[in-house]
């Protein structure tokens, strides 16, 4: 693979599918104009609203979103990672899978992942989250998509970042770039977001691409922002800050090789 540009998009999604997809297209177009070949959307990019509303609309959200990402990939000739949207779970009524999908510039689906770790947490800021009320957990490790153009891409979603064994599995499967799209809470994000992403990059000597949600979405739902791209040494290459926009940086196979030679920890694993 040759060096290429990747964009980690940052959005303030609302409980409004049409508005969110319009915002997403504006950012995808901007990323393509800036030369990005691979573009990542954050978790909940298509809909970020009350859980009951999300599940009630899941079928429509899934149908429109899948058509949207295929159209965007073809229109702007980019590979696109849709970082998390609800897809109804046929096995369990009233629940959906939190789903990440990677599509090619042809619109062809390349890889799909159902989020495994669900965010059931009482956050100290007074907010309570119980993702498992409306989301069915995936039952398999995330896939690694092997690409001559982009290297080996490992998928994950948000809360997964707190479970290093998942990323160790991805690196053992050959991952070189880890996608971690998120809607990280504002309260936890200020202390944990950056350090967790850097840890996943350093311990696996992988690039990390982390699209993000930012700002106020509805009621008391606030997210941290700071979409990041991090190199295998843990250096922050791009930070989107706190406003909608993007982090844009180069993925360089030479840098990946250099870091893995300097710090060959993946070769020294005992267990």
Q: Is 115 a catalytic residue?
A: yes
Residue 262's CB is within 10 A of a number of other CB atoms, namely 10
Q: Say which of 54, 95, 115, 136 is annotated catalytic.
A: 115
**How far is 87 from 59, CA to CA, in rounded Å?**
7
Q: Say which of 66, 136, 158, 206 is annotated catalytic.
A: 158
Q: Is 130 a catalytic residue?
A: no
Q: Is 43 a catalytic residue?
A: yes
**How far is 237 from 249, CA to CA, in rounded Å?**
6
Q: E strand or H helix at 91, and its extent? A: none
| 160, 117 Cβ separation under 8 angstroms | yes
3 state DSSP class of 133? helix
CA 181 to each of CA 23, 28, 107, 136: distance values in angstroms, whole numbers, following the listed order: 17, 15, 20, 18
Residue 98's CB is within 10 A of a number of other CB atoms, namely 28
**Radius of gyration, alpha carbons of the chain:** 17
Q: Taking CA 70 as the corner, what is the angle to CA 148 and CA 59, rounded to the nearest 5 degrees? A: 130
**How far is 152 from 178, CA to CA, in rounded Å?**
9
Catalytic positions = 43, 115, 158
């Amino acid at each position: 693979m040759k060096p290429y540009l990747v964009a980690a998009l940052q959005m303030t999604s609302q409980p409004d599918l049409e508005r969110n997809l319009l915002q997403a297209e504006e950012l995808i177009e901007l990323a393509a104009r800036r030369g990005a070949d691979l573009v990542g959307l954050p978790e909940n990019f298509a809909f970020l609203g009350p859980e009951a509303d999300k599940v009630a609309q899941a079928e429509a959200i899934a149908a429109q979103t899948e058509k949207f990402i295929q159209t965007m990939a073809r229109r702007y000739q980019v590979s696109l990672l849709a970082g998390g949207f609800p897809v109804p779970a046929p096995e369990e009524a009233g629940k959906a899978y939190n789903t990440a999908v990677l599509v090619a510039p042809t619109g062809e689906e390349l890889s799909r992942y159902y989020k495994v770790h669900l965010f059931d947490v009482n956050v100290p800021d007074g907010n309570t989250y119980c993702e498992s009320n409306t989301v069915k957990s995936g039952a398999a490790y995330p896939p690694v998509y092997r690409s001559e153009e982009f290297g080996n891409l490992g998928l994950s979603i948000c809360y997964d970042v707190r479970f290093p064994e998942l990323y160790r599995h991805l690196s053992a499967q050959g991952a070189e770039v880890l996608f971690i799209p998120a809607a990280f809470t504002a309260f936890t994000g200020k202390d944990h977001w950056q350090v967790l992403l850097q840890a996943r990059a350093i311990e696996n000597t992988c690039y990390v691409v982390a699209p993000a949600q930012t700002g106020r979405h509805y009621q008391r739902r606030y997210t941290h922002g700071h979409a990041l791209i991090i190199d295998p040494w843990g250096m922050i290459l791009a930070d989107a800050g706190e406003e909608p926009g993007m982090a844009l940086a180069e993925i360089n196979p030479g840098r990946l090789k250099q870091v893995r030679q300097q710090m060959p920890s993946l070769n020294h694993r005992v267990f």
